[in-house]
Each structure stands twice: as structure tokens, then as C-alpha cells.
């Protein structure tokens, strides 16, 4: 499948479930996704390089991570799925925010921002969906100023002896069926486990982030490895880059 076809498939899939996305997210994860986003904000909050950072949330979807990060600084959330952004725009309008949140339609693989224009870049449950993960990480690095903070949250597969088989059963057998019943759409919740299984391990993600030019790269396994939080800093730009 070409990158273009994968991107179009992902955009159509999220467009089809945009109205039920939040409910499904919280229900199928028993609300643990909220906790993971809070941890992401806390980890970045402890590393921010300036008092009021400019923050970009890539693949912001319906805006939960953008809203959470507005406690730290002004946020631009971008996503290439218009229906997801419409849900997000309504949430932004109805939220009391410490700092502004703006939403923008844009592709994570070709961000419409100048080099070094943000202090923080964050992204939750997006990297796995990108047609080109390396390119996505390079774009994150490009738009961050040197020393800026990158934080990426995504699913992993737990490896702990007791948790792993229970989680696999839920994730591979139960979740796709529940997702289909609630969303009324066949594809997305069958795609979710498949995309997580083919997603690189936390160790490989760390290597990819380093190759993209990030320094001090670390990962944290959340909820026994059900989710992975990748953190790093933008290094100095490569002087040989054209």
C-alpha cells in the first residue's frame, strides 16, 4: 500500500468514528487514557525550557491532549481529519482555558510550520498511524527549537507474565467486537490491535527518535507497558542538512 493510500485510509477511518471517538476511547480504556495524558503533561512540565512554551500537538484529533497542555502554554493542535477537528473545536469553545488552543488542519508528514518554531511538540496515539514513522519524527524535530521537548504517547504490548495474556485476550478478541458494536463501523477497532502489533517496540522507537536528531531520549512504560511514553530533546540542527 502506498503512503498516500495508508494516509487516506487512516483519515477516512477516523472521520467515520469522530462523533463517538471520545466515548469509545474512555470506555474501552476504562478511562486510563486520561491518566496517561496527565502523565504526559506532568513529564513535559518538568522539562520545559521556557516559562511559557509554544506547544504543538500533532494528530490532536478531538483535542484532549491539546486541552490538557493548555495549562502549560498556548497550544496549536493539528490533524488531517476534518470531522475529528470539528469535535475538537466544539470542545475548545466550551472549555475554560488557561491559555489559547487553536486547531488547524494539517498533515503530520508535511507540517506547515517554520523550522524551530515550537518549544514543545507532543503527540498521542498518532505515530502508529503514520504512513512514515521516521518522517513523522523528523518533522517533529524540524519544528522544535534546539533544546525543545518532544513527548510521544502510544500503545505498546505488555510483556509482564500475568498481565500480557489477559491484555492480549482483551485487546485482540474483546475490544474489536465492542468497538464495532458501539461505533457501528467495522474497520477501526480491528485496525487498532493490528496497528499496535506491527508498531515498533519502545527500544526501536527510541533508536528512531535518536536517528531523527533527538537527544536524551528515554521511554517510560505505562500501565505495565500497555502504553509507552517517549521523551526527548531536540539537538542542534545538522549543519549539512539541505
Contact positions toward ligand SAM, by CB under 6 A? 7, 10-11, 14, 25, 59-61, 64-65, 79-81, 84, 107-109, 124-126, 129-130
Q: State which residue, 75 or 108, has the beta carbon closest to ligand SAM.
A: 108
Sheet of 101-105, strands arranged across:
101-105, 75-79, 55-58, 118-124, 144-155, 227-234, 214-222
Q: State which residue, 35 or 50, has the beta carbon closest to ligand SAM.
A: 35
Q: Which residue is nearest to ligand SAM (CB)?
A: 61
User: CB 240 → ligand SAM: shortest distance, Å?
Assistant: 27
User: CB 101 → ligand SAM: shortest distance, Å?
Assistant: 13
Q: State which residue, 146 or 196, has the beta carbon closest to ligand SAM.
A: 196
User: CB 239 → ligand SAM: shortest distance, Å?
Assistant: 29
Grid cell of 217 as nine digits = 531520549
Alpha helices in 31-162 (DSSP H): 32-45, 64-69, 82-93, 133-143
In 55-126, DSSP assigns E strands to: 55-58, 75-79, 101-105, 118-124
Q: State which residue, 12 or 203, has the beta carbon closest to ligand SAM.
A: 12
CA distance 7 to 144: 24
Amino acid at each position: 500500500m502506498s503512503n498516500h493510500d495508508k494516509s487516506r485510509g487512516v483519515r477516512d477511518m477516523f472521520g467515520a468514528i469522530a462523533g463517538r471517538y471520545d466515548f469509545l476511547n474512555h470506555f474501552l480504556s476504562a478511562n486510563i487514557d486520561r491518566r496517561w495524558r496527565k502523565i504526559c503533561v506532568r513529564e513535559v512540565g518538568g522539562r520545559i525550557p521556557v516559562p511559557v512554551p509554544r506547544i504543538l500537538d500533532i494528530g490532536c484529533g478531538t483535542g484532549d491532549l491539546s486541552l490538557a497542555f493548555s495549562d502549560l502554554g498556548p497550544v496549536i493542535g493539528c490533524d488531517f481529519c476534518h470531522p475529528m477537528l470539528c469535535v475538537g473545536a466544539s470542545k475548545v469553545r466550551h472549555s475554560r482555558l488557561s491559555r489559547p488552543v487553536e486547531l488547524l488542519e494539517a498533515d503530520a508528514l508535511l507540517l506547515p510550520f517554520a523550522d524551530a518554531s515550537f518549544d514543545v511538540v507532543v503527540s498521542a496515539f498518532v505515530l502508529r498511524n503514520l504512513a512514515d514513522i521516521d518522517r513523522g519524527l523528523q518533522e517533529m524535530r524540524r519544528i522544535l527549537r534546539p533544546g525543545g521537548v518532544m513527548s510521544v504517547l502510544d500503545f505498546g504490548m505488555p510483556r509482564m507474565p500475568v498481565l500480557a495474556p489477559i491484555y492480549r485476550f482483551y485487546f485482540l478478541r474483546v475490544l474489536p467486537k465492542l468497538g464495532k458494536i458501539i461505533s457501528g463501523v467495522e474497520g477501526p477497532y480491528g485496525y487498532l490491535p493490528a496497528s499496535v502489533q506491527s508498531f515498533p517496540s519502545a527500544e526501536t522507537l527510541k533508536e528512531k527518535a535518536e536517528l531523527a536528531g533527538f537527544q536524551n531520549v528515554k521511554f517510560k512504560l505505562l500501565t505495565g507497558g500497555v502504553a509507552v511514553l517517549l521523551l526527548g530533546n531536540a539537538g542542534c540542527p545538522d549543519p549539512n542538512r539541505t
